Chain A
Amino acid sequence: DTEVTQTPKHLVMGMTNKKSLKCEQHMGHRAMYWYKQKAKKPPELMFVYSYEKLSINESVPSRFSPECPNSSLLNLHLHALQPEDSALYLCASSQEEREMETQYFGPGTRLLVL
């Protein structure tokens, strides 16, 4: 099973709302990732967790707050977002955080900020 699941599939929120995106994998992977993808653009890395610890934060604004409660779950908490944050948010996982590791992607959450 190489499935990464993400919920919700779609999310509409106002700039004052607080919401969370959820990602789950049961492949025993120890590295998990959040990416942001704008329309017609490649994904951009936001965060990397390795063994449940944040290892990479690509200068993401504090209105995005990641959380890794356990090795299978990855959350992205959203607060006071801006309309330009509207995008497809992709979660991925890999066995380890190593150069040759394949990252398996979820279907994404499409976020619209009004």
Chain B
Amino acid sequence: AQSVTQLDSHVSVSEGTPVLLRCNYSSSYSPSLFWYVQHPNKGLQLLLKYTSAATLVKGINGFEAEFKKSETSFHLTKPSAHMSDAAEYFCVVSESLDSNSGYALNFGKGTSLLVTP
């Protein structure tokens, strides 16, 4: 079974400083990985996804993530945090449920990003 582990439940950064949200995955093959963001009382928005085309994936709002097979990691980064980046971030892997039931998203527990002035 595929799974993801988000290594930090909370991350706090100052506005203008870099953001690093860590995610490790567990999979027997090259998985499909996603980062979603959820602002308070909102639905989830896709930031970026990895589907083996390129190891460095660029997403919306200046975010990017690098797939590192040797480290089984898919960390999310942004060079300079904005106040509007404060939200919950989920690392997600697409998981095969069984041979007849297709795929579903398996979410990490989430990382809450706080951005201070």
Contacts and interface: CB of A to CB of B under 8 A. Distances in A.
Interface of A: 4, 6, 31, 33, 40-43, 45, 48, 50, 55-56, 90, 92, 97-108, 110
Interface stretch (B17-25, B70-78, B93-101): B93-101
| Chain B interface main SS type | strand
Nearest to B98: A56
Contacts of A97: 102-103
Contacts of B44: 43, 90, 92, 105
Interface in B81-117: 90, 94, 96-97, 101-105, 107-110
A102 B45 contact: no
Contact of A56 (B34, B90, B97, B108): B97
B43 A107 contact: yes
Given A42-B110, A102-B34, A48 B104 contact: yes
B43 A56 contact: no
B11 interface: no
B101 A56 contact: yes
B107 A99 contact: no
A42 B34 CA distance: 14
